[in-house]
Structures are given as structure tokens and as C-alpha cells.
Structure 1
Amino acid sequence: MDRRANVFIACSPCARAGVSTTARLLTDYLCFTNAEPLGFDTDPLEPCYAPYFPDRVHVLDATDIKGQIALFDGLLANQDRAKIVDVWHRSYLRFFETVQDIGFIDEAHRQGIEPILLYHADASRNSLEGVLALRKFWPDMAIMLVHNEGARPLEPDEAEIFQRYPVQGKFVIPSLPIPVARSLADSSVSLQSFLRSPPQEMSIVVRASLKAWVSSIFAQFQSFELRRRLESSPYL
């Protein structure tokens, strides 16, 4: 599958699930691998994704008609570029109601675009019911589970709950020590630039920890891309 035709929808019905972090990481990964993704941040009040990519990510309100036009028309345009949507938890229900009402998934497929859900999960019943509802409406849509261990840690007896999620695979965003996480919160920190040339003024300990963290996540994205390409190959 051509990565340029993908629309990645990072979402969760729950707050503080790490959705914006994943949108940021995926955008940096695609830029690091010489792609030119476009992003959409659907939190018009306190956007957490857009500040990291002011020239690449559009902020809009997915609950009003103007924002919906900008979002869904934008996802179908510029098919030579991957798209990433950060779905604010407060607009989650309205977002997917609109997806269903306008037939976005079918239209995307007709235009050769593959929507891929990055569903951020936790141990709550609300999280499981949310993904089951999405699978019921769109049984053939690609859904990847994302577990942000720092945002939504699991108790030992909760680890098996993700086996009940009807998904094609799983991304794990490991937790970070607090000093490293603080450095990551700076909107001037570009992860793609960090990997190419780590800032010398940053603590050597923080640099090493952040590099290992980013590299492990980028490796997961790369494996996902390779697997999708193999699945779509006519020669296998």
C-alpha cells in the first residue's frame, strides 16, 4: 500500500489517552522518512498537536459545519500526501457520526484512500465499547490499538483486556521518566530533527533516553508499513 494514500485517525472516547502524542510521533516519523504529511487538530480551544507543526497542521472544530467541510474535504484532497487527524475526545462522537452520515469511509475507498484508525485504549468499559461500536459500523476498516503506557497505565490484572479488542495490531507508546517527558513537551522540540542531530545543550542522559524511546516507536511504525505493503503485494 502506498503510504501517501493513508488517512490516519488518532482517537479515543476517553480524555488523556495520548492521542495527540501519537499524532505528533507519526507526523515526525513520516517527515523523518521524507514524506510530507498533512495534519488536522480538532481541538479548537487548546490544540495539543498543531503547535508542534504550525505549517503542517490545521486547527478546526469538527462539531460545526465549517470545520467538517474543511476536515473531510481536506482528507480527500492532496492524495499524494498522508493525512493525520487528532480527534479531540469531546468531538469524538460527533466526528464518527459525521463519518457515518456522509459515507466518508466508502468515498475514501472509492478514491483509493485507506482510512486507518489508531484507537487509543485503556482498561475502561467505555474504551472497549467504543471500539466494538466502530467495528460494528465498519467491519472491514483497519483499526490499530494504541496503548500509551504513561497516559493510561494498566494494573497487572488488566493486561488481558486488550485481547478482546477487534483490531489488526497494536502500537505501544512506552512511559518516560518525568525529566525526559518535560523535554518532550517543548513545542520547539522536533523529534525528526532530534534524531538527525540531538541538541548538545540537552543532558546526555535525557538525550539517550529520548533517542531510545523515539527509535522504538518509529521502529513500530516502520514494521506496520512493511506489513501493510506485503499484505497488498500481488506477488505474495
Structure 2
Amino acid sequence: MPATPVYIICSPRPQVGKTLLARLLSEFLLLKNGAVLAFDVNLKEPSLLDYLPSITETAEIDDTFGKMQLMDRVILDDGIAKVIDLGFHAFDEFFKMSEEIGFLKEAARRNVRPIVLFAADTDRASARGHQMLVRQIPATRLIVVDNEYIVRGELPETFTAGRVQRISALPVFLKTYIDRLTFSFTDYLRHERDSSTELHQWIRRNYFSFRELELSLILQQS
């Protein structure tokens, strides 16, 4: 049986488009599979829970109980994809915990496949955080996300050695539109009859890239 995926969306920096990515991926998985479970590990509002309350739970890793509670949920091979929107404040602690408890080995034993989506930025903290992940996460499971709205121009070379997932920038007025708490990417695809609109094409392009990522992960398992 294919492994149950756990997507960990992260960055050591705030305001790099993590929650937008988590929203897109969660809605894609919900559309494709009919089910997804998301975890919101954030301090700042609005967060993933505000956008997708029906599929999102809050999680904390400030103490041992919170860490174990989260890990108990994501380590289940139940066929339901998991998405973790990991706040920048929890970045170091999460991956320190992951290494200490042997999360990757335990996940493999239980047929669970963690995939790390690292939202890149051009600062030193991002470079250091990425290097830490390179040492801990297998190259096939570490995806750098190049959000053109955040990274203006070329992605720094330090991030381009492995796989890169690109999200093109939207005009400011469309960015404001999709930032509304009531906005749904899938609902827009279903109800906007003009498939040539810039937003329609942008959503479809991102959904297609997630599908390509899924297929590549499946091929790695075969």
C-alpha cells in the first residue's frame, strides 16, 4: 500500500507565504482525496485554522505532552494525508524533536512518509535553516518552495541543489482577494466559468504541481 503522506510546511522566517501554501495544498488534497487533516502550529492570526476550520486542528509543541499529542496523530498510517503548517517560532524545536525521537525511522516503520516543504527567503536565517534540514532530511523528501511574491528575482543558489517547487506571484489586488478568510481555491475553480482568468490559471497551475509532486513520491516508493 502507498505510504500515508505527511507534508510539513515550514520556515524559520515569518511572512514567507507558509499558510498560503498550506491552504493550497490542503484544499488540493481535500478535492482529490475527499479527506485531509491539517495541523496549525502558529502564533499569529489569521492562521490555517481561520481559513479551513473544518479540517484543521491546533497543535502546540511547547511541552512534551503537546509534542507527543501531535506525533501520535501524524504517525498513523490511516491513508489520510496530513498537512502541518509549522510556525516560524516552532521551526527549531520541531526538527530538534524530530531528530531526537527518530521520527523519520519511526515513520518509515509505520508506512508514513514525511515530506518537508521549505518556504525559502533570501536572508541568513533561511539559509541556515535549510542547511540544517539538508543534514537531517533525505533529498527526495525536502522540497524548496520558491514563492515569487516573497523571493523577488533569482532564488539563491544555496537552495537550488535539490527539488524546487515554484509559486508564481499574483498581482496585489488578487493577493488581497485570496487572503479573505471566506475565500476557497476549489470553490473558485468550480464557480468561475471563465477558465482563462489569471487566478483560475494560477490555482490550476499550483494544483497540477502538487499532483506532479504526489506522482514523483509514489514512483519513489515503487
With normalisation by structure 1, the TM-score equals: 0.85
Matching residue of 2:203:
214
The 8 Å contact of residues 132 and 166 in structure 1, kept in 2 or not, is answered as: no
- In the alignment, the residues of structure 2 paired with residue 146 and residue 187 of structure 1 have an alpha-carbon distance, to the nearest angstrom, of 23
Q: Which amino acid letter does the alignment assign opposite residue 203 of structure 2?
A: V
- In the alignment, the residues of structure 2 paired with residue 153 and residue 166 of structure 1 have an alpha-carbon distance, to the nearest angstrom, of 17
Higher mean alpha-carbon deviation, 211-220 vs 76-85, is at 76-85
Residue 44 of structure 1, CA deviation: 4.4
Residue 226 of structure 1, CA deviation: 2.0
Aligned CA distance change for structure 1 residues 162 and 57 (closer, same or farther; 3 Å): farther
Q: Structure 1 residue 187 and structure 2 residue 181: aligned?
A: yes
Residue 92 of structure 1, CA deviation: 0.8
Q: Does the residue aligned with 1:33 lie in a helix, a strand or coil?
A: helix
- In the alignment, the residues of structure 2 paired with residue 136 and residue 78 of structure 1 have an alpha-carbon distance, to the nearest angstrom, of 26
Matching residue of 1:232:
221
Matching residue of 1:175:
169
What is the CA RMSD across the aligned residues, in angstroms? 2.3
Q: Which amino acid letter does the alignment assign opposite residue 156 of structure 2?
A: I
Q: Structure 1 residue 73 and structure 2 residue 62: aligned?
A: no
**Is there any run of 5+ residues in structure 2 with no aligned partner, and where?**
none
Q: Does the residue aligned with 2:197 lie in a helix, a strand or coil?
A: helix
Q: Percent identity?
A: 27
Residue deviations 1:79-113 (CA, integer Å, cap 9, x gap): 22000000100111111111112211111111011
With normalisation by structure 2, the TM-score equals: 0.90
Q: Structure 1 residue 35 and structure 2 residue 34: aligned?
A: yes
Residue 165 of structure 1, CA deviation: 4.3
Matching residue of 1:64:
63
Higher mean alpha-carbon deviation, 80-89 vs 58-67, is at 58-67
Q: Which amino acid letter does the alignment assign opposite residue 226 of structure 1?
A: L
**Is there any run of 5+ residues in structure 1 with no aligned partner, and where?**
none
Aligned residues: 222
The 8 Å contact of residues 12 and 89 in structure 1, kept in 2 or not, is answered as: yes
Q: Give the alignment of 1:1-236 within 5 angstroms.
A: 2=2, 5-77=4-76, 79-139=78-138, 142-150=141-149, 152-155=150-153, 159=154, 161-162=156-157, 164-167=159-162, 169-198=163-192, 208-233=197-222
Aligned CA distance change for structure 1 residues 154 and 182 (closer, same or farther; 3 Å): closer
Residue deviations 1:185-231 (CA, integer Å, cap 9, x gap): 11211111221223x8xxx79x9221111111111111112222233
